Amino acid sequence: MAAVHHSPNPPIVYSFPFVDKLVASLAEFIIKAQRESIDKKGKFTIALSGGSLPNALKGLIGNPGVKWDKWQVFYVDERVVPLDNPDSNHLAFTEILFSKVPIPTSHIHTLDPSLLDDLEELSDAYEKELIKEFAQKDSARFPVFDLILLGMGPDGHTASLFPGHELLAEDDRWVAYLEDSPKPPAKRITFTYPVINHAARVAFFAVGEGKVEMLSSVLDKPEEGLPSSRVKPVYPGHLYWFVDDQAAAKLEYPKTAFKL
Ligand SMILES: O=C(O)[C@H](O)[C@@H](O)[C@H](O)[C@H](O)COP(=O)(O)O
């Protein structure tokens, strides 16, 4: 029988007049994804990236809908620095979110700080951490996160996947490393597209006038192939954008009214 290939679901863009409304809606969206995941398999797997994302998740603090003991948290990308270094994404999430909620620390999967001197080992070890959570790695199988949350940099990068970088073509490894990030710190590990694009849901968070041009390039001209445009979850995965009206000022791509 011939294989049926579905094209990816088109991105859904939610734009909000104020960031506080966005933050509250993003919390509702995450809790709905969490509920569906727990109902199906008793846990919720989520991957987080850095930038201003920790602050965007503040709507989860004190929210009774969040079942923290069912969360398994990974980092989409991480700077290769000790876990208490100000550049660490994990430190930012700990200070802003995880220290304020009852999540078991064993459910937060950080890079292994004993391997910072060997990037190959470090990224392999993080890939093994994923394999433990999601089953065996074989060529037909990728981890399927319930939700991956991303940001978009001023150059259109997402995770630590930068314009023109050779890692944009990585289709085998789940976790890769780079030593030449154009944005410091230079050394990072990052999920690759196969991991990002196999998630059940991927959501970008992008706010403010600094995103105006790039948001329009990424969504209105995906053929330009910017790293954020290459996020296209395979069917039946969904891609969402949570943006504010400022960031969406020049966007031609249609917006959808937020509803769960
Ligand atoms: O990797 C990094 O060095 C950055 O932290 C970066 O990836 C960040 O996530 C984006 O620039 C979006 O961040 P904002 O949403 O805060 O603009």
| 75 domain residue, yes or no | yes
| 258 domain residue, yes or no | no
| 131 domain residue, yes or no | yes
| 6 domain residue, yes or no | no
Q: Which atom of ligand 1 is nearest to the CA of 207?
A: 15
Q: Whose CA is nearest to atom 2 of ligand 1?
A: 51
The structure's pTM equals 0.97
> What's the CATH number where 174 sits?
3.40.50.1360
Residue 179 Cα to ligand 1 middle (Å): 17
| 73 domain residue, yes or no | yes
Per-residue pLDDT of the chain (260 residues; tens, 9 = 90+): 566 778 899 999 999 999 999 999 999 999 999 999 999 999 999 999 999 999 999 999 999 999 999 999 999 999 999 999 999 999 999 999 999 999 999 999 999 999 999 999 999 999 999 999 997 766 568 999 999 999 999 999 999 999 999 999 999 999 999 999 999 999 999 999 999 999 999 999 999 999 999 999 999 999 999 999 999 999 999 999 999 999 999 999 999 999 98
| 227 domain residue, yes or no | yes
| 257 domain residue, yes or no | no
Q: Which value does ipTM take for this structure? A: 0.95
Q: Which atom of ligand 1 is nearest to the CA of 77?
A: 1
| 167 domain residue, yes or no | yes
What gap in Å lies between CA 59 and CA 8, rounded to an integer?
30
User: What are residue 240's phi and psi, to 5 degrees?
Assistant: -125, 150
Range of the domain at 18: 12-244
User: Rounded to the nearest 10 degrees, how much is the dihedral formed by the CA atoms of 19, 24, 27, 29?
Assistant: -90
SS3 201: strand
